């Protein structure tokens, strides 16, 4: 990289001082030097059409600017190159925290799942089978979701979904999309419009033709083209790409758009957005299925990709009552079209060992294109699946087993991992042998056992199994967990295998920086590590000693505990000491700590048992203790419950509730910051007792705990 001053090339990070140790004068000087350099590169690229530096070097410069500005916000001036759309695609989009989370949708494939959806909603809302319940049905657009924030009718910000909590700021790019209005007349003061950015088939074909002609990158499918076009740092490139937008939802609002989903979508249309003309109101599952079939029949002629039909409860007051699970609304579901299929040869079956010891069979395939994407691996689920049985022993695929060398049918649905669906026995090689599933771990040779009721065989090696240990470590440093800069999967493998500077368990990451000087010299001489990058890595590790409780719980890699459950668990306990002592005191299946854990929304008995086990197994517990001794675990905020009369209170519901179901009552109370418990104890603040309340009401009386009926509860929470 010619003339890039102090900044090193992408291969080494050696010349840079960690931003954290820069003085503000040094930071300002460096910022100025790099900003000038970026501007010069922009001019060369755009105006003179003669790029001077590589995309990677350009990205490195911009990333450094972003790092400096994060530490010294006073340098982030309006005209900073980080605020302007620059040259090459890069990872330097600013992050935007969504005012209201952007959720995903539960998927359904079979018609009876739609009946289940309707049943569940009726049960949740306590509606009988004869009570009218209206839904909407609309195409599920296969693009990428975008949130547009309008303030006083002016487009202020556009953000991608990202992980649902935080997305990327793509405002300038969104402004170039013709379907996205710059200004709105008569809109609420705050209006976040959500919808899908997509590309039509015709525009996709001509874009690819143009790209091929000019030697540019061609795209596998319209969705990739839409995503690649929107996520361009140079808005001029986005402007040259024919993107479109359908509005179908909303985030923050200063006033409601309407009383129904249909009404709200009509309002968005009246405000100037494109809404999907196939959106319809339906009076139940049968009508939904009719619309599904009709839309599926139109699919090939729509001119844009859709991958299913989305059903939503029409009444917005009911939507509000139904609320959300951790990542999906209870009031909507995506009914997906059948997956795309292709046939290819299964070359080999390999076993991967995951962080919880699960032995997962993977099919290595002769690469084949399925719905525009090249597939060369597919999951085979477990040993029963390979043998042609389901987990209950019933035959699947007419009992046909899967063998190496077989001709197999592969299918893909949306973003899920491709699966092997079927086998063509007429093409089976004569010497093909039934697959023998290993009963020892291929990585550590420990026994691999299958517990009663578990479809999966697991390595019993625990932390002595290198595959489990490495996978656990990779999970530990992954994005939703500790997310340590410069310590990714590749580095974990390197350190794990290193006898001089081993990282065998998470605590070792934090003791690494304290090793003696001789070892550090060894590290410095390793591939990709120079003086500066070693100190950068140590700094990145130091930065993560302070970690919020939810991230720590997720990072522990306890079976069944995903990031959204970890969030809910952390919010329930608030701090490490409360969480750790509850897990230590808990006994599986009984006692107040067990009940309390089950009271966390989304925690069922399987996850609860897994959590309690992790704290009661000597080796795992010791490893957790060693880790926590290295950390400063931050308490997490309880949900925003300003003005909530029940925030922080422990509430018990007992007896029959007549105006809402138990599930709804619990979800509502928790959303208001209350803790809902299944049993009455001295810690209970309030008992809501319906008709037929028995021993719990008596206990509450004996303990002198306040007791109210359902109506009083509804008045109390202002419902
Ligand atoms: S509603 C709270 N409606 O599908 C739920 N989503 O798989 C908001 N999508 O993230 C989503 N068409 O990007 C909704 N008509 C439609 C949609 C739609 C496509 C996307 C959206 C969402 C994803 C979930």
Bridge partner residues of 287 (DSSP): none
Residue 256 burial (CB < 10 Å; 0-12/13-18/19+)?
middle
254: closest CA among 190, 300, 302? Answer: 190
Q: Quick one: which of 136, 139, 141, 125 has its CA closest to 287?
A: 136
The predicted-structure confidence for 558-595, as pLDDT tens digits, reads as follows 999 988 889 889 988 999 999 999 999 999 999 999 99
Q: How many CB atoms lie within 10 A of CB 15?
A: 14
Alpha-carbon distance of 558 to 611, in angstroms, equals 7
Measured from the CA of 332, which atom of ligand 1 is nearest?
5
Pairing of the two strands 650-654 and 675-677: parallel
CA of 140 from ligand 1 middle (Å) equals: 6
Is the distance from CB of 378 to CB of 394 less than 8 angstroms? Answer: no
| Distance separating alpha carbons of residues 9 and 609, to the nearest angstrom | 49
Buried b (16+ CB within 10 A) or exposed e, 125-142: beeeeeeebbbbbbbbbb
What is the position in ligand 1's atom list of the atom closest to the CA of 142?
19
Query: 170 C-alpha vs ligand 1 centroid, how far in Å?
Result: 19
Nearest to 8 by CA among 32, 47, 34: 34
Sheet holding 190-198, edge to edge: 154-160, 144-151, 190-198, 244-253
What percentage of the chain reaches a pLDDT higher than 90? 56
Confidence of residue 519 (pLDDT cuts 50, 70, 90): low
118: its two tokens? 């309707």
Say how many Å lie between the CA of residue 564 and the centre of ligand 1. 19
- Residue 288 to residue 115: CA distance in whole angstroms: 10
Tokens of 146: 């975008």
Integer CA distances (angstroms), 241 to 162, 173, 295, in order:
21, 10, 27
H helix runs in 332-476, sequence order: 383-387, 466-476
| Per-residue confidence band for 372, with pLDDT thresholds at 50, 70 and 90 | low
Minimum-distance ligand 1 atom for the alpha carbon of 105: 24
pLDDT digits (tens, 9 = 90+) for 598-613: 988 778 888 999 999 9
Q: Please give the distance, rounded to the nearest whole angstrom, from the Cα atom of residue 261 to the centre of ligand 1.
A: 14
C-alpha 105 to ligand 1 mean position (Å): 6
Q: Which of the two residues, 4 and 139, has the higher pLDDT score?
A: 139
pLDDT at 90 over 50: no
The token duo for 53 is 């530096």
- Would you state the structure tokens that stand for residue 364, as one six-digit string? 């290595």
Residue closest to 307 by CA, chosen among 340, 274, 330, 278: 340
Q: By the 8 A CB rule, do 324 and 330 touch?
A: yes
The alpha carbon dihedral of 202, 207, 208, 209 has a sign of positive
Q: Is 178 exposed, middle or buried (0-12, 13-18, 19+ CB in 10 A)?
A: exposed
Give nearest CA residue, ligand 1 atom 16: 140
Q: Which atom of ligand 1 is nearest to the CA of 276?
A: 15
Give the model's pLDDT for residue 52.
Answer: 62
Band (pLDDT 50/70/90 cuts) for residue 389 is: very high
658 pLDDT band, cuts 50/70/90, is: confident
Q: Which of 138, 140, 273 to mutate to test the pocket of ligand 1 (most atoms within 8 A of CB)?
A: 140
| Model confidence pLDDT, tens digit, residues 116-168 | 999 999 999 999 999 999 999 999 999 999 999 999 999 999 999 988 888 99
**pLDDT tens, 611-640?**
999 999 988 999 999 999 999 999 987 666
340: which residues sit within 8 A by CB, 6+ positions away? 370, 371, 411, 412, 413
Contacts of 536 (CB under 8 A, 6+ apart): 13, 16, 18, 485, 486
Q: In angstroms, how far is the first alpha carbon of the chain from the final one?
A: 63
Tokens of residue 389, six digits? 């049985």
Tokens matching residue 644: 């909530």
**Which ligand 1 atom is the nearest neighbour of the CA of 103?**
2
Give the per-residue pLDDT at 462. Answer: 87
Task: Write down the pLDDT at residue 7.
Answer: 33
Q: Is the pLDDT of residue 8 over 50?
A: no
Residue 660, Cβ neighbours under 10 Å: how many?
20
How remote is the CA of residue 671 from the centroid of ligand 1, in Å?
23
Residues 6 or more apart whose CB falls under 8 angstroms from that of 320 comprise none
Provide the CB-side half-sphere exposure for 527 (13 A, CA): 5
Helix (H) or strand (E) run with residue 602 in it: none
Say which range, 28-37, 51-60, 206-215, 434-443, has the weakest mean pLDDT. 51-60
Element (H, E) at 93: none
CA of 481 to the centre of ligand 1 (A): 26
Which residue bears the tokens 């138990």?
662
pLDDT higher than threshold 90 for residue 498: no
Tell me the average pLDDT across 540-545.
Answer: 92
User: What is the Å distance from ligand 1's center to 227 Cα?
Assistant: 15
**pLDDT value for 517:** 60
Q: Measuring from atom 2 of ligand 1, which residue has the nearest CA? A: 103
The answer to whether residue 49 scores a pLDDT higher than 50 is: no
Mean confidence (pLDDT) of the chain = 87
Q: How confident is the model at residue 6 (pLDDT cuts 50, 70, 90)?
A: very low
Number of Cα atoms under 13 Å in the Cβ half of residue 213: 6
Question: Ligand 1 centroid to 677 CA: how many Å?
Answer: 34
Question: Which of 415, 378, 382, 376 lies closest to 396, judged by CA?
Answer: 382
Q: Would you call 190 helix, strand, or coil by DSSP?
A: strand
Q: Which residues contact ligand 1 via a Cβ below 6 A?
A: 103-105, 138, 140-141, 145, 196, 248-249, 310, 329, 332, 334
9 CA → ligand 1 middle, Å: 41
Maximum CA extent, the chain: 84
Least confident stretch, 61-75, 110-124, 276-290: 61-75
Question: What distance in Å separates the CA atoms of residue 307 and residue 143, rounded to the nearest whole number?
Answer: 10
Positive/negative CA dihedral, 557, 559, 564, 565: negative
Determine the distance separating the centroid of ligand 1 and the alpha carbon of 143, expressed in angstroms: 9
Residue 82 — very low, low, confident or very high, per pLDDT cuts 50/70/90?
low
Question: Which of 142, 145, 312, 414 should be mutated for ligand 1, with most atoms under 8 A from CB?
Answer: 145
Name which of 297, 371, 292 is nearest 333 in CA terms: 292
Q: Quick one: tokens of 540? A: 């990145």
Residue 327: per-residue pLDDT: 81
Q: Is 407 helix (H, G, I), strand (E, B) or coil?
A: strand
Percentage of the residues of the chain whose pLDDT score is greater than 70: 89
CA dihedral defined by 110, 116, 117, 119, rounded to 10 degrees?
Answer: 160
The predicted pLDDT at position 21 comes to: 79
Please report the atom of ligand 1 found closest to the CA of residue 144: 13
Question: If you ran DSSP here, which 8-state letter would residue 590 be given?
Answer: B
What pLDDT, in 10s, does the model give residues 280-309? 999 999 999 999 999 999 988 899 999 999
Pair of tokens at residue 685: 């603040």
d(CA 621, CA 609): 15
Q: Report DSSP letters for 422-456, one per residue.
A: EE-GGG--TT-------SB-TTT--BEE--TT-SS
Q: Measured in angstroms, how far is the CA atom of residue 136 from the centroid of ligand 1? A: 13
Classify residue 692 as exposed, middle or buried by CB count within 10 Å of its CB (0-12, 13-18, 19+). exposed
Tokens representing 260 are 């129904």
Which residue, by CA, sits nearest to atom 17 of ligand 1? Answer: 140
How buried is residue 704: exposed, middle or buried, by Cβ count under 10 Å (0-12/13-18/19+)? exposed
Q: Which of 136, 141, 143, 162 to mutate to test the pocket of ligand 1 (most atoms within 8 A of CB)?
A: 141
Burial class (CB in 10 A: 0-12, 13-18, 19+), 49: exposed
Q: Which of 127-141, 243-257, 378-392 has the lowest mean pLDDT?
A: 378-392
Distance CA 458, CA 613 (A): 16
Active site residues: 140
Query: Whose Cα sits closest to atom 1 in ligand 1?
Result: 249
Residue nearest to atom 10 of ligand 1 (CA): 104
Looking at residue 662, its pLDDT comes to 81
User: Measured from the CA of 324, which atom of ligand 1 is nearest?
Assistant: 2
Mutate to test the pocket of ligand 1, among 144, 248, 250 (most ligand atoms within 8 A of CB): 248
Report which ligand 1 atom has the smallest distance to the Cα of 107: 7
* Domains observed in the chain: 9-84 (1.10.287.610), 107-336 (3.30.470.30), 341-427 (2.40.50.140), 462-544 (1.10.150.20), 548-634 (1.10.150.20), 650-716 (3.40.50.10190)
């Amino acid at each position: 990289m010619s003339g890039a001053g102090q900044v090193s090339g992408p291969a080494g990070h050696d010349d840079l001082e960690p931003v954290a140790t820069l003085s503000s004068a040094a930071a300002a000087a460096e910022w100025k030097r790099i900003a000038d350099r970026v501007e010069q590169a922009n001019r060369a690229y755009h105006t003179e059409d003669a790029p001077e530096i590589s995309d990677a070097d350009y990205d490195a410069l911009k990333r450094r600017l972003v790092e400096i500005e994060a530490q010294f916000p006073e340098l982030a001036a309006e005209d900073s190159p980080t605020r302007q759309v620059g040259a090459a695609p890069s990872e330097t989009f600013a992050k935007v925290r969504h005012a209201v989370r952007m959720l995903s949708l539960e998927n359904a494939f079979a018609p009876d799942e739609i009946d289940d959806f309707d049943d569940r909603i009726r049960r949740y809302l306590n509606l009988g089978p004869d009570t009218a319940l209206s839904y909407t049905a609309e195409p599920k657009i296969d693009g990428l979701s975008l949130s547009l924030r309008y303030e006083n009718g002016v487009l202020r910000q556009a953000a991608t979904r990202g992980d649902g909590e935080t997305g990327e700021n793509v405002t300038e790019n969104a402004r170039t999309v013709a379907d996205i209005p710059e200004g709105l007349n008569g809109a609420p003061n705050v209006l976040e419009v959500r919808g899908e950015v997509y590309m039509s088939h015709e525009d996709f074909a001509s874009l690819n033709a143009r790209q091929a002609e000019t030697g540019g990158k061609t795209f596998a499918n319209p969705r990739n083209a839409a995503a690649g076009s929107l996520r361009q740092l140079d808005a001029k490139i986005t402007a040259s790409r024919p993107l479109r937008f359908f509005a179908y939802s909303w985030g923050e609002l200063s006033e409601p758009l309407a009383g129904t989903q249909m009404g709200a979508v009509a309002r968005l249309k009246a405000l100037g957005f494109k809404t999907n003309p196939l959106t319809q109101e339906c009076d139940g599952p049968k009508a939904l299925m009719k619309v599904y079939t009709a839309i599926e029949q139109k699919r090939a002629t729509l001119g844009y990709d859709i991958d299913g039909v989305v059903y939503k409860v029409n009444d917005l007051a009911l939507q509000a009552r139904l609320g959300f699970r951790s990542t999906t609304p209870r009031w909507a579901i995506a009914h997906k079209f059948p997956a795309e299929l292709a046939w290819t040869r299964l070359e080999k079956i390999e076993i991967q060992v995951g962080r919880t010891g699960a032995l997962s069979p993977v099919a290595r395939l002769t690469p084949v294109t399925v719905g525009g994407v090249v597939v060369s691996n597919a999951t085979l689920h477990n040993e029963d699946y390979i043998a042609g049985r389901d987990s209950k022993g019933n035959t699947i695929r007419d009992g046909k087993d899967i063998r190496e060398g077989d001709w197999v049918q592969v299918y893909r649905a949306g973003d899920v991992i491709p699966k092997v669906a079927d086998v063509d026995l007429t093409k089976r090689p004569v010497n093909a042998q039934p697959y023998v599933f290993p009963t020892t771990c291929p990585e550590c040779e420990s026994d691999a056992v299958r517990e009663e009721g578990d479809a999966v065989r697991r390595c019993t090696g625990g932390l002595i199994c290198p595959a489990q240990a490495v996978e656990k470590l990779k999970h530990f440093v992954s994005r939703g967990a500790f997310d340590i800069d410069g310590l990714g999967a590749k580095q974990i493998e390197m350190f794990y295998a290193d006898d001089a500077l081993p990282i065998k368990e998470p605590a070792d990451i934090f003791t690494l920086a304290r090793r003696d000087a001789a070892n550090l010299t060894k590290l410095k001489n390793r591939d990709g590590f120079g003086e500066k990058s070693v100190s950068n890595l140590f700094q990145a590790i130091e930065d993560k000693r302070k970690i919020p409780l939810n991230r720590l719980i997720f990072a522990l890699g306890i079976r069944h505990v995903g990031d959204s459950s970890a969030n809910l668990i952390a919010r329930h306990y608030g701090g490490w000491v409360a969480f750790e002592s509850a897990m230590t005191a808990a006994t599986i299946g009984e006692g107040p700590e067990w009940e309390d854990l089950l009271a966390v929304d989304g925690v069922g008995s399987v996850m609860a048992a897994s959590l309690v086990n992790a704290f009661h197994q000597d080796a795992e517990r010791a490893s957790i203790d060693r880790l926590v001794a290295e950390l400063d675990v931050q308490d997490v905020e309880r949900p925003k419950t300003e003005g909530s009369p029940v925030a922080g209170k422990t509430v018990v519901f007992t007896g029959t509730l007549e105006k809402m179901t138990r599930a709804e009552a619990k979800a509502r109370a928790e959303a208001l910051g209350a803790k809902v418990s299944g049993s009455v104890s001295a810690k209970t603040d309030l008992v809501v007792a319906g008709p037929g309340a028995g021993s719990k009401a008596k206990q509450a009386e004996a303990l002198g705990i306040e007791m109210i009926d359902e109506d009083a509860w509804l008045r109390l929470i202002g419902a």
